[in-house]
Amino acid sequence: MNIPLRPQPVINNLAGENALFIVLGINSNPDHSGIIDFLANFSALVRSMANRFPNSQFTASLGIGSHAWDLLFPDLNKPKELQPFQEIKGSKYTAVATSGDLFFHIRANQMAICYELASIIHDQLKESSYPISETKGFRYFDGRAILGFVDGTENPEHEIAKEIAYVGEEDIEFLGGSYVFIQKYLHNMEMWKALSTEEQEKVIGRKKYDDVELSDDVKPQNAHNVVSKAHDADGNELKILRANMPFSNPSEGESGTFFIGYSRSFNITKTMLENMFLGKENGHVDRLLDFSTPVSGSLFFVPTFDFLEDLAE
């Protein structure tokens, strides 16, 4: 009897009103057994949290960076596309590359539940890792970004999302895993608010109120929803699964979007970034980058729970 794979619940990470995005680095200590033990027990930890808070829309997933994979699993094969993200430098803007060994995406209706898991992670990994970043995300009204537009409009339905987010037979050893790419964008809200609603809509490519896409005769070629797409050789659009969330510290004048994209192939996400920052596909750089600056950029691989549990052996 074939036992089905148990992917981490990345396609369920669109629910929940609050989120924590945590990036850790691994200490140079040659003994990584504590981290491997934690990884092997991660599925049990997630299951325990879900049982404790059954109505909280709690989900959590764990990604492993290229450097960490080499440190932790020197004798194991590596997912085909897992490597350190290389910055994409355009003539005007740059998609920066930043370090990261472990990435945690935690989401639930209550921030207290996100905190509970984050606290456990800290207690168990504090001797073997160090913090790189932690961002608190929240659902803004009806799924809008701080910029006021609905985010994630292009996300596919649940069943289709499985085909988009999870690795298939092209890398059979890592079937059911997922590549996750993260970027933290800071928005210049003063510049953005100085635009009229009509001007903002031309930057995004959609209506602000009802999220209806602008017609082709009105929508500029450098609109965000034009240049942020990727296509195959036959012109068919290629998709990823976005789980973006806004974050903000108003008293510090900081507002932004935490971009997080899951995909079966990072090359799709990379093509989207090249289109945005280089104008690769149609020669137009993303107009949204005039108002949004990426301050991080890291790639991780999210293995199945089966892979993680096998580490105990």
What's the burial of 62, exposed, middle or buried (CB within 10 Å: 0-12/13-18/19+)? Answer: buried
Residues marked as catalytic? 151
Do residues 117 and 60 make contact, with C-beta atoms less than 8 angstroms apart?
yes
Alpha helices in 126-213 (DSSP H): 158-165, 189-193, 197-204
How far separated are the first and last CA of the chain, in Å rounded? 22
Per-residue tokens: 41: 């027990």
Write the CA distances from 136 to 105, 133, 245, integer angstroms. 10, 10, 9
Q: How far apart are CA 156 and CA 238, in angstroms?
A: 11
Q: How far apart are CA 62 and CA 71, in angstroms?
A: 17
